[in-house]
Structure 1
Amino acid sequence: MTGHYCLQLDVGNSSAKWRLVNNAEVLARGVYVPDDTSSLEAMLGCAEQVQQVWIASVAGDQREGELATVLEQRWGVSPWFARTQANTGDLVNSYSDPGRMGVDRWLAMLGARHRYRERLCVVDAGSAVTIDLVAEDGRHEGGYIIPGPTLMERALLLDTDRVRFAEAVEYDLPPGRSTAEAVRHGVALAEAGAVNLAMEQAGEPAPRLVLCGGAAPTMQQLLNGRGEWLPDLVFEGLQIMAGQ
């Protein structure tokens, strides 16, 4: 293999998505799960040599340090970690302490802003669901963070005695006719309802809705196909920030 190879990682709370890029071409991609040897070997075996490693991470310092050590030992390259900024280009953070915003949210907005120079609603549907509004001039108007489906269900199971089910039920919107359906459909109603209400609250001009994150396809179905699913949006933002 010849060329200039960059390994890019989007590290979440439970796993990390990665892709290997040579210039603008994505050569390989996968998911790394901590303590899963096979997924680690797949990532470390994606290339004989890489010249750069870029990481967007919402993990803690210890996990970031462990990951950096593994990558340095494999390729001898010190990873660059993206951090949320007060502004990147003309995208302007609304937080008084920008570092308190998860970098995945910031990069998703940055990727969407690069694609569309208009008002935006950026939804990242993962372990948590984040909803962020960006004005046409690039100013972050603010956002929302709500639990994702797994966290919502866990709260019900941990804090109630009689909400229990073993059936495999899809997320859908009709009223449930069993405990399993009532929980799963209730979660779906809450998730899709939050996005719809955020769009309604946004007022005019109506923002363009873009979706990313592992649960984005399900979210888009619940929204009756509304919005545009951009699975690599965080990676796109990572690439833009690295090039600043």
Structure 2
Amino acid sequence: MLLAVDIGNTNITLGLVEGGAIVATRRAGTHRAATADELEHALEGLLALDDHRLADIAAMAVASVVPVLTEAIEAVAVRRRIPILVANAGSVPIAVRVDRPGEVGADRIVNALAAARLYGTPAVVVDFGTATTLDCVSADGAYVGGAIAPGLELGLEALAARTAKLPRIELPTPDRAIGRDTVSAMQAGTVFGYQALASGLLARVRAELAETAGVAPGDVRAILTGGLSAAPWARDVAGVDVIDPDLTLKGLAIVHQLVAGGEPFAGSAR
């Protein structure tokens, strides 16, 4: 059984992969100060929720944007004698055509590979996480760059922290853009503003990628993923073809298949 681990700035997400499919997922908050011992304890606890243990894991595939936790999980793997594959620009089998490949987040490269393998090219991956990222895959399957904007929750936290009277709020989908009180005004501004930011960036990036590939913008696949992609309001982001919250975990399974000879992941034959 493969354990796919996506270590982000806000959350650590686990995926158990067996029989060419993700059979369980779990999520916990990211604690940058966690030691290897604490991380091992957290992994055991999350796996236990699905009646598994680290002793059941045959291999790990990891994408991490938190270097100290990358080192911690590598230490856990060594201690538990679990083969580990850490995704980066050098280990993921995809051409990375940007000025500084080493600066590209591992999750972004993994997402690009997963999009190409699962949904075809050219493609744009929109990732709603701590940051909102748009990552582009060329017609020949290379990662060719993208765009980064502050994430929705990051903006909300800054708004609440930097203003005296604006509260922290929940985010249902508003009925209208004109709020009649502070909370509804914040909800409208945040949700509709974020939808506009994402759809506007997507349209521009899609058009540029289509022009380079010599295809119509509608032929560029747009995949939405990330922790906030499952929110109800995310379904109304214009231009998105597919919502796949587990894209990074699927990408890690595909990377493990291609690099370490792991079990083929279903649907990755493109």
What's the TM-score bracket when you normalise by the shorter of the two chains? 0.7 to 0.9
**Letter in structure 1 aligned against 2:246:** D
Seen in structure 2, the aligned counterparts of structure 1 residues 11 and 44 have a Cα distance that, compared at 3 Å, is: same
Cα distance, 1:180 vs structure 2? 1.8
Q: Aligned equivalents of 1:113 and 1:216: distance in 2?
A: 19
**Equivalent residue in structure 1 for 2:229, among 198, 209, 216:** 216
Could you list the per-position Cα deviations for residues 67-112 of structure 1 after superposition, in whole angstroms to 9, with x for gaps in the alignment?
A: 3333444x322422111249734xx323211110111111111101
Name the counterpart of 1:123. Answer: 126
Q: Is the 8 A contact 2:126 2:135 kept in 1?
A: yes
Q: Aligned equivalents of 2:69 and 2:123: distance in 1?
A: 32
TM-score, length of structure 1 as denominator length: 0.83
Q: Which runs of 5+ in 1 are unaligned?
A: none
**Equivalent residue in structure 2 for 1:42, among 30, 33, 45:** 45
**Which structure ranks higher in relative contact order (CA pairs < 8 Å, sequence separation ≥ 6)?**
2
Q: Aligned equivalents of 1:181 and 1:79: distance in 2?
A: 47
**Letter in structure 1 aligned against 2:10:** S
**Equivalent residue in structure 1 for 2:76, among 66, 70, 81:** 70
Could you list the per-position Cα deviations for residues 183-213 of structure 1 after superposition, in whole angstroms to 9, with x for gaps in the alignment?
A: 2322222321122212332324212211111
Could you tell me the percent identity over the aligned residues? 25
Seen in structure 2, the aligned counterparts of structure 1 residues 180 and 39 have a Cα distance that, compared at 3 Å, is: farther
User: Which moves more between the two structures, 39-48 or 206-215?
Assistant: 39-48
| Secondary structure at 1:216 match in 2 | coil
Pairs within 5 Å for 1:78-227: 78-85=83-90, 88-89=93-94, 92-162=95-165, 164-165=166-167, 168-172=170-174, 174-201=177-204, 202-203=206-207, 204=210, 205-206=216-217, 207-218=220-231, 220-223=234-237, 226-227=240-241
Q: Which runs of 5+ in 2 are unaligned?
A: 211-215, 260-270
Q: Is the 8 A contact 1:19 1:26 kept in 2?
A: yes
Q: Aligned equivalents of 1:23 and 1:10: distance in 2?
A: 20
Cα distance, 1:233 vs structure 2? 1.2
**Letter in structure 2 aligned against 1:88:** P
Q: Aligned equivalents of 2:20 and 2:56: distance in 1?
A: 17
Say how many residue pairs are matched: 235
Could you list the per-position Cα deviations for residues 158-199 of structure 1 after superposition, in whole angstroms to 9, with x for gaps in the alignment?
A: 33333x125544244623222222223222223211222123
- Pairwise CA RMSD: 2.7
Q: Does 1:228 align with 2:246?
A: no
**Equivalent residue in structure 2 for 1:241, among 230, 252, 255:** 255
Name the counterpart of 2:22. Answer: 26
Q: Aligned equivalents of 2:92 and 2:25: distance in 1?
A: 29
User: Which moves more between the two structures, 14-23 or 94-103?
Assistant: 14-23
Name the counterpart of 2:262. Answer: none
Q: Aligned equivalents of 2:82 and 2:228: distance in 1?
A: 32
